[in-house]
């Protein structure tokens, strides 16, 4: 039997970032797929072993490009747990603020990709344009648009600028207003619903066994969220829901993010209200030659894509002995996508892959 063989990526509009899929199709039906990754492999884990603890702070955000802050916070959390450093309460609130803003911006990116894959080109124009307002807030707070390099072991590098809270609130109000437009155009759009409902279903048990995490897992009907189950920072003091859509198809994965978008806005508003005064950083004894006590720790948090985790091993020296980064897309992008795409039609490949929110840099590091 001969199949029609074709490639998606790396130079292609239908992939998220720089990765490629090798597909075999029988007529219109996909028979097999192989994910090819490694286009972005920089060897972070190796490079970090060569650098002192603080020098790794600018390195880590590069691991996940659309949502860099999770890496900064995770790295800081891991190092803090190893060294017994406790960041101030205010710093923890600021971190939550940064994480949730990053989640919003990643979701807006996701909507753009998912809608673009379905041919709805107005949504990318809107969501990415609106995402820029979040980036403006980031720029004010952290000094960078894409890479913030803001969280560091001990706290955060700068305090909130004057009047920042009210400007974040304005941005949130603007986004809330815009969500009505997005709903009308995308989530209530009969064509989108028709194209995505009942396609690319990831079943509940399969999702659990295959290490699917985050919104993709919740879209399959399991209520699990690292923010609640393995709460970190000050998430246990915040009031938010974990929505579960539960059908496991493309539409529920898109809808899952849409519902979580509301929750994140809710969290940001609470953080703005509850943020205490106080110091924003607990300075390290020495920026360069600081040693972290020996030990190992696995820290994880909920990113917009799923469970992001750092396994950090220290042998008591100035440099980490080993850092293993567990990116959420690792499972989604390779094995799950390869297995679940079989039987799908060619036209559904791009929406399916986009719905998984695969981010190649965090697979490859």
Which range in 21-29, 50-58, 237-245, 345-353 contacts another protein by CB under 8 A? 50-58
The span from the CA of 92 to the CA of 237, in Å, is 11
- Position among 6, 173, 298, 342 found at the interface with another protein (CB under 8 A): 298
**201 is a contact residue toward another protein (CB under 8 A):** no
Q: Could you report how far apart the first and last alpha carbons of the chain are, in Å?
A: 38
> Are 177 and 223 within 8 A, CB to CB?
no
Which range in 118-126, 233-241, 255-263, 346-354 contacts another protein by CB under 8 A? 118-126
The distance of closest approach from Cβ of residue 244 to another protein in the complex, given in angstroms and rounded to an integer, is 13
- Position among 179, 242, 272, 313 found at the interface with another protein (CB under 8 A): 313
155-184 binders of another protein (CB under 8 A):
157-159, 161, 181, 184
362: buried, middle or exposed (CB in 10 Å: 19+, 13-18, 0-12)? Answer: buried
- Choice between 62 and 253, CB closer to another protein: 62
Nearest to 120 by CA among 205, 51, 181: 181
**285 is a contact residue toward another protein (CB under 8 A):** yes
SS3 assignment for 197-234: CCCCCCCHHHHHHCCCCHHHHHHCCCCCCHHHHCCCCC
**C-alpha 300: how far from chain center:** 12
Output b/e per residue, 161-170; b: 16+ Cβ within 10 A: eeebeebbee
**149 is a contact residue toward another protein (CB under 8 A):** yes
- Position among 29, 262, 296, 318 found at the interface with another protein (CB under 8 A): 296
The distance of closest approach from Cβ of residue 84 to another protein in the complex, given in angstroms and rounded to an integer, is 12
> Are 76 and 151 within 8 A, CB to CB?
yes
The distance of closest approach from Cβ of residue 3 to another protein in the complex, given in angstroms and rounded to an integer, is 20
> Are 200 and 249 within 8 A, CB to CB?
yes
**324 is a contact residue toward another protein (CB under 8 A):** yes
- Position among 314, 340, 361, 362 found at the interface with another protein (CB under 8 A): 361
What token pair was written down for 145?
Answer: 């648009």
**278 is a contact residue toward another protein (CB under 8 A):** no
- Choice between 29 and 335, CB closer to another protein: 335
Residue given tokens 């009505």 in the structure block:
180
**153 is a contact residue toward another protein (CB under 8 A):** no
Which range in 152-160, 249-257, 260-268, 270-278 contacts another protein by CB under 8 A? 152-160
54-93 binders of another protein (CB under 8 A):
54-59, 62, 65-66
**53 is a contact residue toward another protein (CB under 8 A):** no
**346 is a contact residue toward another protein (CB under 8 A):** no
What token pair was written down for 327?
Answer: 């990116």
**Cβ-based neighbours of 47, under 8 Å, separated by 6 or more:** 59
The distance of closest approach from Cβ of residue 221 to another protein in the complex, given in angstroms and rounded to an integer, is 12
**221 is a contact residue toward another protein (CB under 8 A):** no
The span from the CA of 312 to the CA of 297, in Å, is 5
Query: How many Cβ atoms are within 10 Å of 277's Cβ, its own excluded?
Result: 7
Which range in 87-95, 121-129, 235-243, 341-349 contacts another protein by CB under 8 A? 121-129
- Position among 95, 218, 227, 326 found at the interface with another protein (CB under 8 A): 326
**331 is a contact residue toward another protein (CB under 8 A):** yes
Phi, psi of 98 (to 5 degrees): -65, -45
DSSP per residue over 185-196, as a string? Answer: IIIT-HHHHHHH
Indicate the DSSP class of residue 298. Answer: E
The distance of closest approach from Cβ of residue 30 to another protein in the complex, given in angstroms and rounded to an integer, is 19
**142 is a contact residue toward another protein (CB under 8 A):** yes
**125 is a contact residue toward another protein (CB under 8 A):** yes
């Amino acid at each position: 039997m001969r199949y029609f063989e074709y490639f998606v990526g790396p130079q292609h509009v239908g992939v998220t970032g720089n990765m490629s899929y090798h597909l075999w199709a029988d007529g219109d039906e996909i028979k097999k797929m192989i994910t090819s990754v490694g286009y972005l492999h920089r060897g972070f884990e190796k490079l970090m072993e060569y650098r002192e603890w603080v020098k790794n702070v600018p390195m880590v955000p590069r691991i996940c490009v659309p949502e860099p802050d999770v890496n900064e916070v995770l790295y800081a959390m891991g190092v803090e747990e190893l060294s017994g450093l406790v960041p101030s309460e205010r710093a923890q609130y600021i971190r939550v603020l940064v994480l949730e803003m990053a989640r919003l911006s990643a979701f807006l990116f996701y909507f753009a990709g998912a809608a673009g894959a379905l041919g709805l080109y107005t949504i990318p124009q809107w969501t990415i344009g609106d995402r820029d307002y979040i980036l403006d807030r980031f720029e004010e707070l952290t000094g960078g648009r894409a890479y913030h390099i803001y969280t560091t072991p001990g706290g955060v590098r700068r305090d909130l600028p004057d009047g920042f809270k009210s400007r974040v609130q304005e941005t949130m109000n603007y986004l809330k207003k815009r969500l009505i437009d997005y709903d009308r155009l995308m989530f209530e759009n009969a064509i989108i619903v028709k194209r995505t409902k009942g396609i690319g279903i990831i079943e509940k048990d399969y999702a659990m066994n295959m290490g699917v995490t985050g919104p993709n897992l919740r879209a399959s009907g399991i209520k699990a969220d690292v923010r609640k189950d393995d709460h970190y920072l000050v998430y246990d003091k915040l009031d938010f829901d974990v929505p579960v859509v539960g059908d496991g198809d493309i539409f529920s994965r898109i809808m899952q993010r849409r519902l979580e978008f509301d929750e994140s806005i809710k969290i940001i508003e609470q953080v703005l209200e509850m943020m205490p005064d106080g110091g924003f950083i607990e300075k390290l004894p020495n920026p360069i030659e600081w040693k972290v006590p020996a030990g190992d720790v696995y820290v994880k948090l909920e990113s917009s894509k799923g469970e992001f985790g750092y396994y950090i091993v220290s042998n008591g020296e100035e440099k980490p002995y080993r850092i293993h980064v567990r990116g959420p897309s690792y499972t989604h992008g390779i094995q799950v996508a390869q297995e679940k795409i079989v039987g799908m039609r060619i036209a559904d490949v791009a929406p399916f892959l986009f719905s998984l929110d695969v981010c190649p840099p965090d697979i490859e590091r």
